[in-house]
Chain A
Amino acid sequence: MIALRTTLAASLALAATLAHADDRYALAPAYVQECGACHTPYPPALLPAESWQRVMAGLAKHYGTDASLDAAAQKSLSDWLLARAGSGKRARVAPPDDRITRGEWFIRKHREVSKAAWTRPAIKSASNCGACHPGAAEGDYDEDRVRIPR
């Protein structure tokens, strides 16, 4: 019985570890370092491949700023993003301007957030995921942990 219990506990612990390190959500350190320097390192699955392709091809004019990278970094980050681009309900079509925040899925998920909330100084922009999702930098968007600042 004890042996069984130990085995069970061990496999549960392993399952928890694996779930935590789920590849689909793990963010590459280089992605966090390069893209996360200016904004939340957005989950790659929130944009379809065609959007990521355009975004990565236009980094010198990236939503009003110069986010250019050297060729090697641009290539490796593009490959990383394209391998994880979305295809399901979250990213069926490219959103206007390739902005995650203008996609149908994003808008639907945030429909309960009032217009006024978005412009509060602590939030400022819909791209500031971490303002309300404390684990955003690590890819954690669990609804139960959402705290909308006043």
Chain B
Amino acid sequence: MKNKPLLLLAAAALAAAAGAQAATTTPAELLTGYSAAAKASADAARGQKLFTTQGTKEWSCSSCHGATPTGMGKHASTGKAIQPLAPAFNAERFSDVAKTEKWFRRNCNDVLGRECTPGEKADVLAWLMTLK
């Protein structure tokens, strides 16, 4: 048990690090922000196409999230279960700015080999918000 204080300290440090980036938001608020940054209104149909089309690499967004991400997805390489992505089916989605940005950054890089533009993020989010 000699590690207990250390563990608690580490846990507190991790919690503080996580807390520092937990800026809460809503899907609608994010959509407004991305559309404003793109200086264009979002297009849900274009978002669906981007989501389901294979990028410059092996994967599309649907490879892990499913073609209609209202149910459980499955990580394409590890097989790990992924919670639904559409916000109407998972209230945690698009509720945290840093988390949303982190996953867009990583996953766009995995699919397209680059980050997504604000316009692309707006399109995808607009489509996800139509799924009820």
Judging by beta carbons under 8 Å apart, are B77 and A63 in contact? yes
Interface footprint category on A: 35 or more
CB distance from A17 to the nearest CB of B (A): 12
In the assembled complex, the CB of A119 is this many whole angstroms from the nearest CB of chain B, namely 11
A29 CA to B14 CA, complexed, in Å: 8
Residue of B nearest to A22 (CB): B1
Partner of A79, one of B10, B106, B109: B10
In the assembled complex, A53 has its CB within 8 A of some CB on chain B: no
Q: Secondary structure of the A side of the interface?
A: loop
Kindly identify which residue among A26, A28, A66, A80 contacts B110, using a CB–CB cutoff of 8 Å. Answer: A66
Whether the Cβ atoms of B14 and A39 lie closer than 8 Å is no
Name A69's closest neighbour in chain B (CB-CB): B102
Query: Among the listed stretches B16-24, B33-41, B120-128, which one makes contact with chain A, having 4 or more residues with CB under 8 Å of it?
Result: B16-24
Q: What are 9 residue pairs bridging A and B, where the CB atoms are less than 8 Å apart in the complex?
A: A28-B10, A28-B14, A29-B14, A64-B77, A65-B110, A68-B106, A76-B13, A79-B10, A83-B10
Q: Tell me the B residues contacting A by CB distance below 8 Å.
A: 1, 3-4, 6-7, 10-11, 13-15, 17-18, 20-21, 75, 77-80, 98, 102, 105-107, 109-110
